[in-house]
Amino acid sequence: MNGLAIMRDLVSRPSGAIGLGIVLFHIIIAVIGPAIAPYDYADQDVDAILQAPSAAHWFGTDRLGRDVFTRTLLGGREAMMISTASTIIALVWGAALGIVVALVGGRLDEMVMRCADALMSIPWILIVMIFVAALGTGTTALVPVLGFSYGLSVIYLARSAALDFVTRDFILAARARGERRRTIIFQELLPNVRDSLAVQGAMQWSWIILAVSSLSFLGMGVAPPAPDWGLMISDARGVMASAPWTAIWPMLALSSLIIGLNLAVDSLAKVLGVDRVQRSPVP
């Protein structure tokens, strides 16, 4: 099934069309946000601290007098950029290793999977905290750390999907012809596990967006004063009772993106005939 056919089938499903529309809306806002934002995200107005929504500040202001609408508008940019890059890294290295060990088997398979088991037994948040403590916060640190951490689950999926094919006749025939392993991987195995990897990648994207926001909430993600939904929710903890708008808008923005992604992924899995059997790590 080609890309256009997949997209046509995806939007033909109500949940897929709604989910894809929400995701595209957030992507467009992330791209054009700086051009349409009414204020600078870091501008502070001491005369407008914790001001309720008004004509001047549509979503009100936070405890530093910053415009909540502007910060909500721009709050998904960092998370989406970090999660996109991390997802690509996780898919590339996790899929490559999983397919290789499925094809080679033997001691390599045993050694790699036992190492993966050991790492997966450690909560992902602890792995991230260790690396963040060593490398610091910010995009340059979060991208490789999250790409490595979430790539572990990709190994299992890629290996499991590839194992369904390594004993089939067309793979045995390719080996009998003396085809190189690289040729078998790219021409025989990868096309057959591509759909599973596509669904996994979309799922990983939503998980990592949530992970980035969670880390920012804990002070280990995007560094202030950069606009980030997790940071905004963290900053609003002390004033939620008196100024609930400081937390409501970033919460709605984050939850709508995650809901949109999950709706789109569910429909994509049905279109491709792939079961969503894996669950997200708990942040």
The tens digit of pLDDT for each residue in 115-162 reads 999 888 888 778 777 877 777 666 777 888 889 889 999 999 999 889
Q: What is the dihedral of CA 30, 204, 252, 54, to 10 degrees?
A: -20
Angle, helix 77-104 to helix 139-163, in steps of 10 degrees: 40
pLDDT for position 283? 35
* Amino acid making up residue 31: V
Averaged over 197-202, what is the pLDDT? 89
Strand, helix or coil for residue 67:
strand
pLDDT for position 276? 54
pLDDT confidence bin for 275, thresholds 50/70/90: low
Averaged over 232-261, what is the pLDDT? 91
Vertex 254: Cα angle to 248 and 255 (nearest 5) = 85
Burial 33-69 (b: 16+ CB within 10 A, else e): beeebebebeeeeeebeebeeeeebbbbbbebbbbbb
pLDDT confidence bin for 277, thresholds 50/70/90: very low
Of the CA atoms within 13 Å of residue 232, those in its CB half-sphere come to 35
Compute the distance between CA of residue 274 and CA of residue 262 in angstroms, rounded to an integer: 14
pLDDT for position 84? 92
Query: With contact defined as beta carbons under 8 Å apart, do 90 and 151 qualify?
Result: yes
Averaged over 248-271, what is the pLDDT? 92
pLDDT for position 1? 58
CA terminus-to-terminus distance, the chain = 35
pLDDT for position 110? 92
Compute the distance between CA of residue 64 and CA of residue 42 in angstroms, rounded to an integer: 9
Would the pLDDT of 224 be above 70?
A: yes
Provide the H-helix boundaries in the chain. 3-12, 14-36, 68-74, 77-104, 106-120, 124-135, 139-163, 169-176, 181-184, 190-217, 229-235, 245-272
pLDDT digits (tens, 9 = 90+) for 202-222: 888 989 998 888 888 888 888
Let me know if 188 is exposed, middle or buried by CB neighbors in 10 A (0-12, 13-18, 19+).
buried
Options 3.40.50.2300, 3.30.830.10, 1.10.1660.10, 1.10.3720.10; CATH for 15-31+77-272 is 1.10.3720.10
Vertex 273: Cα angle to 92 and 171 (nearest 5) = 60
Beta bridge partners of 67: 61
Q: pTM of the full predicted structure?
A: 0.86
Would the pLDDT of 281 be above 50?
A: no
pLDDT confidence bin for 23, thresholds 50/70/90: very high
Compute the distance between CA of residue 127 and CA of residue 130 in angstroms, rounded to an integer: 5
Compute the distance between CA of residue 230 and CA of residue 52 in angstroms, rounded to an integer: 21
pLDDT digits (tens, 9 = 90+) for 78-114: 889 999 999 999 999 999 999 999 988 888 989 999 9
pLDDT for position 121? 86
